[in-house]
Amino acid sequence: MTIRWFSLLLLLAFTLPCKGEVPLAVKRVFSQLVPGEIGKNITEAPLPGWFQGQVGSRLFYVDSTGEFLLDGQVFNLKTRTNLTAIALNSFRQELLSGVDEASMVLFKAPDERYRVSVFTDVDCGYCRKLHNSMADYHRLGISVQYLAYPRAGMGTPTARIMESAWCADDPVKALTRAKQGKKIKQLECTNPIIDHYRLGNALGVKGTPAILLESGHLVPGFVEAPQLLQMLEQG
């Protein structure tokens, strides 16, 4: 009897996943959720017996048996926090940290308190409105660093204009002229436009402007300077 129980325990030790280890059933679900997309950052979820993972720009939850899938937001009612948003913000921060700041076009506030990363398109009306409000952001200590996101995709006239702006000797001046609807010199060089575009897709950017705060929170659309400052102060 003792040997039999010992054998059973030994079998369980080899078949049950260790704490923190992702079960094969869970990995299988995340590998099949979206065709062409591989699940990543798969870890134990705040829900006991569940795992969370990122597929594309979205976060999914799968139970340890691989039988149940949760597509939605998880809140901690005691702390009144959105745990899904916190996890996604962390993923966005990690992705942005891999971008060379030199590849962005920076409009720096004289007395910088905060810095936001903005996915922009030179032909977008609200992108132009945001750019025309640059002095308002700067007065509040908010610097803006632009990443390119041609909404119509790569290989379009807009994308080529943005490539020329990034290739210019003075990208700040060239980008401003482009946003004013003025012609800029057509240039070619090694540029980060396609990398920025892919990053925007990975982060879940659906349109422009898209403002990424230091916290990792992604804000769609134009935001007036005072409201943006309030968001930044709240973290």
**Tens digit of each residue's pLDDT (9 = 90 or more) over 29-50:** 999 988 878 888 899 999 999 9
At residue 19, the pLDDT reads 56
Place of tokens 């059973």: 8
* Whether the Cβ atoms of residue 148 and residue 156 lie closer than 8 Å to each other: no
At residue 35, the pLDDT reads 83
Find how far residue 73's CA is from the centre of its chain.
17
Mean pLDDT of 68-91: 93
| Residue 223 clears pLDDT 60, i.e. is over it | yes
Please state, in angstroms and rounded to a whole number, the distance separating the CA atoms of residues 54 and 58.
6
* Whether the Cβ atoms of residue 31 and residue 23 lie closer than 8 Å to each other: no
Tokens of 179: 């946003």
Tokens of 61: 């939850």
Please state, in angstroms and rounded to a whole number, the distance separating the CA atoms of residues 45 and 89.
15
* Whether the Cβ atoms of residue 148 and residue 108 lie closer than 8 Å to each other: no
At residue 133, the pLDDT reads 98
Q: Of residues 97 and 9, which shows the higher confidence score? A: 97
Bridge partner residues of 217 (DSSP): none
Please state, in angstroms and rounded to a whole number, the distance separating the CA atoms of residues 166 and 171.
5
Helices (H), the chain: 2-15, 24-32, 83-97, 125-132, 134-139, 157-167, 171-179, 193-203, 225-234
* Whether the Cβ atoms of residue 33 and residue 39 lie closer than 8 Å to each other: yes
The SS3 call for residue 59 is strand
Residue 58: Cβ-neighbour burial (10 angstroms; 0-12, 13-18, 19+):
middle
Condensed to tens digits (0 to 9), the pLDDT of residues 106-151 reads: 999 999 999 999 999 999 999 999 999 999 999 999 999 999 999 9
At residue 173, the pLDDT reads 98
- Confidence band for 57, pLDDT divided at 50, 70 and 90: confident
Bridge partner residues of 148 (DSSP): 120
| Residue 53 clears pLDDT 60, i.e. is over it | yes
- Confidence band for 6, pLDDT divided at 50, 70 and 90: very low
CB crowding 64-103: b at 16 or more within 10 Å, else e: bebeeebeeebeeeeeeeebbbebbbebbeeebeebeeee
Q: Return mean pLDDT, the chain.
A: 90
At residue 20, the pLDDT reads 64
Of 49, 63, 61, 119, the residue nearest 87 (C-alpha): 61
